[in-house]
């Protein structure tokens, strides 16, 4: 990315907009990012967000680790709104669709504008995961290590 600054600059603008100006509460944004990157097997991006943002938004180490588990609800108790996000991320990852059940679970906790806000970072961080994995990026030395599965 550093060798190709022009396309990278377009990408950075989107990422900065999601992190700094989104409607989804910061905790929820980081749960979505952690689960998306974990499901995509992107230890690079998972570790960067775990190091830089997770503590800032109040995501506990237990919950952070759970985002990388096969079943994130097995090892951690999540509030219903967070469990709905995790289920929706998993459904999107597995099918590229959201069922009426998943939408309704999200609607129980979030206004319509936040539902769109959920989809955008979920898709964006899937794209970022493809990039990091495709470029074979090594994990940052300072990043939280991705939990062993």
What are the structural domain ranges in the chain?
A: 21-134
pLDDT at position 24 is 87
In this prediction the pTM is: 0.89
Q: Please report how many Cα atoms fall inside a 13 Å half-sphere around the Cα of residue 63, on the Cβ side.
A: 19
| pLDDT at position 6 | 66
Q: What CATH architecture applies to the domain 21-134?
A: Up-down Bundle (1.20)
The pLDDT score that the predictor gives to residue 117 is 84
Location of structure tokens 């980081």: 30
65 CB contacts (<8 Å, ≥6 apart)?
75, 76, 147
Predicted confidence at residue 8, as pLDDT, reads 60
Q: Are the C-beta atoms of 27 and 59 separated by less than 8 Å?
A: yes
Q: Which distant-in-sequence residues (6+ apart) come within 8 Å of 32 by Cβ? A: 24, 85, 89, 118, 121, 122, 125
In order along its 149 residues, the chain shows pLDDT tens digits of: 555 566 666 556 565 556 566 788 999 999 999 999 999 999 999 999 999 999 899 999 999 999 999 999 988 999 999 999 999 999 999 999 999 999 999 999 999 888 888 888 899 999 999 999 999 999 999 999 999 76
Tokens found for residue 51: 């190091």
């Amino acid at each position: 990315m550093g060798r190709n600054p022009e396309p990278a600059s377009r990408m950075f603008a989107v990422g900065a907009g999601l992190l700094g100006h989104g409607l989804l509460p910061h905790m929820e944004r980081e749960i979505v990012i952690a689960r998306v990157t974990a499901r995509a097997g992107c230890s690079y991006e998972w570790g960067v967000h775990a190091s830089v943002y997770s503590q800032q938004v109040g995501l506990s180490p237990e919950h952070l680790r759970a985002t990388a588990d096969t079943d994130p609800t097995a090892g951690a108790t999540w509030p219903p709104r967070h469990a709905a996000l995790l289920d929706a991320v998993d459904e999107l990852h597995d099918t590229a669709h959201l069922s009426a059940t998943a939408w309704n679970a999200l609607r129980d906790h979030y206004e319509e504008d936040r539902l769109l806000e959920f989809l955008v970072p979920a898709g964006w961080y899937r794209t970022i995961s493809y990039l990091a994995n495709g470029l074979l990026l090594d994990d940052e030395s300072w990043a939280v290590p991705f939990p062993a599965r």
